[in-house]
């Protein structure tokens, strides 16, 4: 009978401690689960970006900038400068998105791995109470920061693409005009050509 009691006690104690540990850090585990949902939504938002279209638009933009640099001289009217300035301003959002997009996926994977590891450590009882709270807060901050960065980058890129779409016809006309001027030596401006 004693042997049976000892075996039962040996089996019951780990289950008891595990169940205490699970209820003890229920809020932190719930936070980790909700952070994973946030990561899922960020990944979904990133997946909705048409990267092929974005890449093609960005390449066209870079080609147009290159042509503008090749044919442009600084003796132009204000209307030409305004087009050039607006077109140049698009570069920041497009370049930032093109550079950061792959890094966002890496950050997503890293955050998921850290959250899984943290949850495993909590369930195994490997961490002290203070460390659990500290790590949970750090991961929550990192996930919210990533969500904000991705949202801002996508919004900025979409805005840049819309501006690019509205400016492209003007820029293409300007490039044609600058090529023509360079060949003929004519200093006719874009606004004069539009008046014709």
Q: For 44-64, give the DSSP string.
A: HHHHTS-HHHHHHHHHHHHHH
What does the mean pLDDT of the chain come to? 83
CA angle 30, 48, 164 (to 5 degrees): 130
CA angle 23, 145, 123 (to 5 degrees): 20
Q: Does residue 18 sit within a domain?
A: no
Percent of the chain residues past pLDDT 70, beyond the cut: 80
Q: Is the pTM of this model over 0.75?
A: no
Q: Does residue 195 sit within a domain?
A: no
Q: Does residue 128 sit within a domain?
A: yes
Q: Does residue 71 sit within a domain?
A: yes
Residues in the chain: 196
Torsion from C-alpha of 45, 50, 52, 53, nearest 10 degrees: -140
Q: Which domain holds residue 124?
A: 26-185
The predicted model gives 16-45 an average pLDDT of 81
CB half-sphere exposure, 6, CA atoms < 13 A: 3
Question: Minimum mean pLDDT among 11-25, 26-40, 118-132, 173-187: which range?
Answer: 11-25
Could you tell me if residue 72 is left (phi over 0), alpha (psi between -120 and 50 degrees) or otherwise beta?
beta
The predicted model gives 29-48 an average pLDDT of 94
Taking each continuous run of H as one helix and of E as one strand, the counts in the chain are 6, 0
pLDDT per position as a tens digit, 77-130: 777 788 888 888 888 888 889 899 999 999 999 999 999 999 999 998 899 999
Query: What domain count does the chain have?
Result: 1
Q: Does residue 10 sit within a domain?
A: no
Q: Does pLDDT of 132 surpass 90?
A: yes
Q: Does residue 94 sit within a domain?
A: yes
Kindly report the backbone phi and psi dihedral angles of residue 126, in degrees, each rounded to the nearest multiple of 5, phi listed first: -85, -10
Q: Does residue 194 sit within a domain?
A: no
Tell me what pLDDT residue 70 has. Answer: 82
Q: Does residue 13 sit within a domain?
A: no
């Amino acid at each position: 009978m004693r042997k049976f009691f000892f075996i039962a006690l040996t089996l019951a104690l780990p289950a008891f401690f595990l169940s205490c540990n699970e209820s003890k850090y229920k809020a932190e585990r719930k936070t980790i689960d909700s952070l994973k949902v946030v990561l899922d939504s960020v990944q979904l938002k990133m997946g909705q970006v048409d990267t092929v279209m974005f890449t093609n638009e960005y390449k066209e933009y870079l080609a147009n900038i290159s042509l503008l640099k090749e044919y442009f001289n600084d003796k132009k009217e204000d209307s030409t400068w305004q087009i050039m300035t607006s077109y140049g301003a698009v570069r920041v959002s497009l370049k930032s998105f093109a550079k950061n997009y792959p890094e966002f996926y890496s950050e997503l994977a890293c955050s998921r791995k850290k959250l899984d590891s943290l949850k495993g450590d909590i369930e195994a009882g490997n961490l002290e109470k203070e460390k659990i709270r500290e790590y949970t807060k750090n991961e929550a901050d990192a996930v919210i920061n990533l969500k904000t960065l991705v949202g801002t980058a996508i919004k900025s890129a979409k805005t840049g693409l819309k501006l690019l779409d509205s400016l492209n016809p003007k820029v293409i006309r300007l490039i044609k005009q600058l090529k023509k001027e360079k060949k003929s030596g004519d200093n006719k401006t874009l606004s004069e050509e539009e008046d014709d």
